[in-house]
């Protein structure tokens, strides 16, 4: 039995260095496993109208969690910066998980819209925007 409020985490040592692996919650793993075991990824066009079944939103959350934790593995500690980078790398993460380009882009846009609407705090910064301090490609107008 697993009891954790976190979808995933990376342990850091006393010097602030990240471990070489991430821990994903059982729920996150189960959601990503559904994608891995499926012959075809589910359609994500429902994200446009916010009419997806819960399982689709859970899968998207798993993808974002994987992207987020991958940034912690690179040494990022600040949660808002890490989440912003995850928002911007969700499309690439989706592609690496076998989701087609059109759906990967829909997922990324959906995640960016949800993140922009989230209350600012530990995981969400006003600097997570085109041209903001956390913009990974400030030289372009592309977002996310």
Q: How far apart are CA 144 and CA 139, in angstroms?
A: 13
pTM of the model: 0.90
Contacts of 38 by beta carbon, 8 Å cutoff, 6+ apart: none
| Cβ neighbourhood burial of 48 (10 Å; 0-12, 13-18, 19+) | exposed
**Is there a contact between 97 and 91 (Cβ–Cβ < 8 Å)?**
no
- According to the model, what pLDDT value does residue 4 have? 66
pLDDT of residue 119: 86
- Model pLDDT, residue 110: 95
Q: List for the chain the helix, strand, coil content (%; round to 5).
A: 50, 5, 45
Alpha helices by DSSP H, listed for the chain, are 26-37, 54-73, 79-96, 101-117
Closest CA to 66 of 34, 38, 109, 28: 28
Tell me which residue of 129, 69, 72 sits closest to 93, measured CA to CA: 69
Q: Can you give the pLDDT at residue 141?
A: 87
Q: Is 48 helix (H, G, I), strand (E, B) or coil?
A: helix
Residue found under tokens 């910064």: 125
pLDDT in the model for residue 69: 96
Neighbours of 27 (CB within 10 A): 16
Q: What is the pLDDT along the chain (144 residues), one digit of tens a residue?
A: 566 678 888 888 998 888 999 999 999 999 999 888 888 888 899 998 889 999 999 999 999 999 999 999 999 999 999 999 999 999 999 999 999 999 999 999 999 999 988 888 889 999 999 999 999 999 998 889
């Amino acid at each position: 039995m697993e009891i954790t409020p976190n979808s995933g985490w990376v342990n850091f040592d006393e010097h602030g260095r990240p471990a070489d692996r991430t821990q994903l919650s059982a729920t996150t793993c189960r959601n990503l496993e559904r994608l891995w075991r499926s012959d075809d990824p589910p359609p994500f066009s429902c994200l446009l109208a916010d009419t997806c079944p819960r399982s689709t939103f859970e899968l998207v959350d798993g993808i974002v969690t994987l992207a987020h934790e991958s940034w912690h593995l690179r040494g990022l500690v600040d949660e808002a910066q890490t989440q912003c980078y995850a928002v911007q790398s969700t499309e690439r993460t989706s592609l690496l998980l076998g989701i087609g380009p059109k759906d990967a882009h829909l997922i990324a846009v959906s995640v960016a819209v949800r993140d922009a609407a989230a209350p600012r705090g530990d995981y969400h910064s006003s600097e997570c925007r085109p041209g903001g301090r956390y913009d990974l490609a400030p030289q372009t107008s592309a977002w996310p």
